[in-house]
Structure 1
Amino acid sequence: MTPFADPLVLFRVAVERMNAEDFLGAAQCCDPVSLRAFHRQTVSRFADSGARRTPQLEDFMHGDPDMPRELAEYNLRKHHEAMHRFGDVSREFPGITDLDALRAAEPERLFASCLEGQSIGWRLARHVADGEMSAADVGVSELLNAFRGRLRSIGVIEISPSLAHIFYAHDVLAPEAPADPWAAKELARIASLPADEQALYADVRGNHSPRSTSCRRQPSGGWLLIAGHEFPGLSTGLVIGRAGPGDDEEDLRSEP
């Protein structure tokens, strides 16, 4: 993990690696102390979930004495299915099979697995495996298009000598063509608006409130991102990036 002198270059490199699905490379943009903390908290979360008491049929019947037994059995079965998914390490962390493997994983590789587990491709595969959709019906290209956008850096504020916040926008790209009924209907709706409202819509479309992620100054003086659920792109599940206005493409390829 080589710290970056410029937090904005750090951000752009992390986004570029996420775009390329280089999850280990993205994790290498993180502060090592935060990686260890993420590892410890994750192990604790799964260990605690396995130690919880498993509800029994009598619990459901006691909570609602008028509930038919068949309904209580159904609710219990659905509860067990949900808890199994929640406690299944491999669902959230690809390549990590169980709690022992979670404990043994290097912090950097654990966070890389977390990034992969939140990617749109992995989440779609989980939905297919769970029977929530069929492989034939996935329509991957349409779903990917629905998430089309880019993470555009806005600026950075150093709030202390050791901590800085990077602000960025997730720009949602407008449909390029009415490729599906929803897009066609949306474009038609916009076109029916008065001209000034169309201009307003063009101004605000995709320009939601800015997001932020944090980075920490390293002993060498450079910066690394803090590993956690505010990592850029982690909450969106998909990042399709490019340099923002005024961004130097050469900076994206430069060494820290």
Structure 2
Amino acid sequence: MKPKVIALLLSTTALPAIAADNDVYMLDEMVVTSTGLKHSSAKSARPVTVLSGDNLRSKVGNTVGETLGNELGITSQSFGAGVGAPVIRGQSGPRVRVLQNSLGNNDASALSPDHANAVNPIIAERIEVLRGPSTLLYGNGAIGGIVNVIDNRIPEQVPDKLLGGALEQRYDSAQTESSSALKLEGGKDHFAYHFDGFYRDQGNTHIGGQPIAEPEARATDPALAGAGELDNPDGLLRNSNARSKGGSAGMS
């Protein structure tokens, strides 16, 4: 009987040394966000509110403030029928700039709220309202917001027709108001033109009763206690009438 030889192979594996230091180091949280769309820096500031088309035509009023008065965060600061400045988040005056085609206006509306703004919304094609950091594109003074009224005075593209236009007529029985707006534009090849004009005539507002409650006013105001007859007509609010007209022309 032959003896059997059993060979045993012993192997050892070197285990990595475990550090004795078990301290845990916490790293600061870093959040990375991105968008799948490519935008330039000029297009990163988007208008918060945009009125155009039928939505603008149904809301257009006598002033820019009246037109935007029902939008979120915007009210109208009115000092009469022809004055209505927009108030954005409680800011008004020089803190809210009203632009026309991204350019400023030479009027006195920013100096005093009882001055009318030179921009008439009835000829506007689009109204943009910007808030927050996007207002820095137009300077550092309008911390309340920017209202940009676009009326296509300088055409940006050649229309499809040589001659086209639109006519709008409005009537308000409560104020005996009649307003008209006319726009003509067209072009061919590398030339485009634009003409527009408006006229608005508004009478005194008709109301129910008298504008001043004389018994209550005389009881609370000492200056009226011994005053004579007041100019307080029945059914009519005096000094609420207004009249405006204007027009513009441009080509490119």
Fold conserved between structures, TM > 0.5: no
Q: Which structure has the larger Rg?
A: 2
TM-score, normalised relative to structure 2: 0.27
Name the structure where helix makes up a greater proportion of residues: 1
Q: Structure with the greater relative contact order (CA < 8 A, sep ≥ 6): 1 or 2?
A: 1
Name the structure where strand makes up a greater proportion of residues: 2
